[in-house]
Structure 1
Amino acid sequence: MANIQNPASQAQQPGQGAFAAIKARIFHPATRQKLLAFASLLTLMVFFSFASSNFLEIDNLVSILQSTAVNGVLAIACTFVIITAGIDLSVGTLMTFCAVMAGVFLTYMGLPIYIGIAAAIFFGALCGWVSGVLVAKLKIPPFIATLGMMMLLKGLSLVISGTKPIYFNDTPGFSAISQDSLIGNLIPALPIPNAVLILFLVAIAAGVILNKTIFGRYTFALGSNEEALRLSGVNVDFWKVAIYTFSGAICGIAGLLIASRLNSAQPALGQGYELDAIAAVVIGGTSLSGGTGTILGTIIGAFIMSVLINGLRMMSVAQEWQTVVTGVIIILAVYMDILRRRRQ
């Protein structure tokens, strides 16, 4: 009897194993967090569509996509740093500084557009490198190091620009980086701005780097157990500086997007963007304690923040109350992260 039943039970094992693998993946904490975040995004959209008849209009949806592009790119930059159990409070002012430097090269010096694009990314990487050195080599806590960089870059942006906006009216094609629609030219029914296309290209590239390269593996390892990584012979300081440098370069892309959207570099802009970016990262499931996080979750979190802010504006909620709601969302997101860590 045992010999007759055994083949049948063995035949069922592959199916059972596949089902168990799918079940384990669905109920994995990281997957549950992304599903919860996506459900929250859909709930917000349904709520605001009933609260305001104009919410689902094409122009408003395009506006949400535009604002998500900038915040989403900044959030991607923050994701790498937060996975290492660090924090970067300078991403907002770094974005502005990169926009100002693009203005210096394009408007003040009259150089070709590709030089301005390269300059924005270069200065973003350079400032990220400085932050990385402060954290990795000088052992300054990330909160303090990046807080200092935030104030430093805010001042530099004002000094270099003379406290006045730098306009790109004499740089043909610069506004097309963010405002034109390559997809809309091919499919007129989908006027999706180029900024959104750039966001998803950056997200795909960042996802591949985070999950498929040694750079990504060391990013997770730094957040999981930095000392164990050091004892295994890895140059921890080098990789930490590299991660902050990479994050800074992504902030340079965000600087180009917002400058192109406004067709100007606004030196007083930027402070406060870091809060929305960090909130998007935490809502998307990246732990402030480090070691876990996904780019997909971060993008969902960025859309949640954009939909929330846009919906509150459509409901004519005062700016100060929008700030209150944002603060509450950040506190709740961090508390949920603490609860997740306790369960694990």
Structure 2
Amino acid sequence: MSDTTATAATARKKRDFSIGRLLLEGRAFFALIAIIVVFSILSPNYLTIGNLLIMASHVAIYGILAIGMLLVILNGGIDLSVGSILALAGVSAGAMMQGIQIDAMGVILYPPVWAVVVLTCVLGAAVGAVNGVLVSIFKVPAFVATLGVMYVARGVALLMTNGLTYNNLSGRAELGNTGFDWLGFNRIGGVPISVIVLAVLAILGGLMLSRSSFGRWLYASGGNERAAELSGVPTRLVKITVYTLSGM
């Protein structure tokens, strides 16, 4: 009888612990559900497809940044420079849309949007790689390294624009540099382009983490870097790669 009572008490404690842990670990999700319920009650237009798509397009950029940050955090690091890299990449894209002046040749080049996107991603990857090199090779703490890169990237962005913004990003058809309007405002099947990009990147990121050798390396080096290195995992390469992907 006493054994049965003890077993029941143990099972009850485990169940209570699991529920408490679930509430603790999922507090952000439950808070989101509560917010959705409250706003749905306050406004009949809140929980509609159109409004949800608009909100999704607003948060898509943060979701894309979060995918890169996820890789860094899984590796046991932190990246404080993502916002400033975003600013630097944005103003660089804006500057290229205004034309790249080559004084030696006396010409102004207007690259197409696809080239602007590729060059901007390369720029972000290069800045992210600097973070990775500082952290993995020079052993600078991630907080300090990314904080320094944050201020450098932000300063360069401000110097490029003199603190102003590029208002004309639509391009001109005769110059062949149109397309940002389509990327920013158009929809495919009613879904904003930015949301589709976020979904594609999230799926690719999930597949990389769950189905690739790099994903296993990332989890291993993030859990115990020394043990992963002794097991043959190229921890330095993994760390540089995740910071490069975060910047890109």
Please say whether Structure 1 and Structure 2 have the same fold, judged by a TM-score greater than 0.5: yes
Matched, 1:201 2:200: yes
Mapped partners of 1:164, 1:59: distance in 2? 33
Matched, 1:178 2:184: yes
Aligned pairs for 1:214-233 within 5 A:
214-233=213-232
Are the counterparts in 1 of residues 68 and 242 from structure 2 also a CA contact under 8 Å?
no
* Aligned-pair identity (%): 35
Aligned pairs for 1:161-176 within 5 A:
161-166=161-166, 167-170=168-171, 171-176=177-182
Residues 56-79 of structure 1, C-alpha deviation per residue, up to 9 Å, x if partnerless? 356543331112201100111100
Mapped partners of 2:32, 2:90: distance in 1? 30
Matched, 1:45 2:36: yes
- 2:112 corresponds to: 112
Which has the higher Rg, Structure 1 or Structure 2? 2
Matched length:
216
1:55 pairs with 28, 38, 46, which one?
A: 46
Are the counterparts in 1 of residues 132 and 239 from structure 2 also a CA contact under 8 Å?
yes
Are the counterparts in 2 of residues 105 and 115 from structure 1 also a CA contact under 8 Å?
no
Q: Which runs of 4+ in 1 moved over 4 A?
A: 29-39
Are the counterparts in 2 of residues 105 and 119 from structure 1 also a CA contact under 8 Å?
no
Unaligned runs of 5+ in 1: 1-26, 185-191, 250-344
What is the CA distance between 1:107 and its match in structure 2? 1.9
- 1:10 corresponds to: none
Mapped partners of 1:32, 1:198: distance in 2? 31
Residues 231-279 of structure 1, C-alpha deviation per residue, up to 9 Å, x if partnerless? 2233321211011111111xxxxxxxxxxxxxxxxxxxxxxxxxxxxxx
Quick check: 200-209 or 212-221, which moved more?
212-221
Are the counterparts in 2 of residues 178 and 195 from structure 1 also a CA contact under 8 Å?
yes
SS of equivalent to 1:118: helix
**Letter matched to residue 70 of structure 2:** T
Mapped partners of 1:135, 1:30: distance in 2? 34
What is the CA distance between 1:183 and its match in structure 2? 1.6
**Letter matched to residue 122 of structure 1:** V
Change (3 A) 1:201 1:32: farther
Are the counterparts in 2 of residues 209 and 216 from structure 1 also a CA contact under 8 Å?
yes
Mapped partners of 1:176, 1:155: distance in 2? 30
Mapped partners of 2:212, 2:24: distance in 1? 24
Aligned pairs for 1:1-344 within 5 A:
38-56=29-47, 60-109=51-100, 110-166=110-166, 167-170=168-171, 171-184=177-190, 192-249=191-248
What is the CA distance between 1:161 and its match in structure 2? 2.1
**Letter matched to residue 55 of structure 1:** Y
Mapped partners of 2:81, 2:113: distance in 1? 26
- 2:15 corresponds to: none
Q: CA RMSD in A?
A: 2.4
Change (3 A) 1:31 1:245: farther
Quick check: 225-234 or 52-61, which moved more?
52-61
Residues 146-205 of structure 1, C-alpha deviation per residue, up to 9 Å, x if partnerless? 111111111011112232212313242212113210122xxxxxxx21110111001001
Mapped partners of 1:222, 1:30: distance in 2? 26
Mapped partners of 2:116, 2:25: distance in 1? 37
SS of equivalent to 2:91: helix
What is the CA distance between 1:37 and its match in structure 2? 5.0
TM-score normalized with structure 1 length: 0.58
**Letter matched to residue 169 of structure 2:** F
Change (3 A) 1:108 1:34: farther
Are the counterparts in 1 of residues 221 and 233 from structure 2 also a CA contact under 8 Å?
no
Mapped partners of 1:168, 1:78: distance in 2? 28
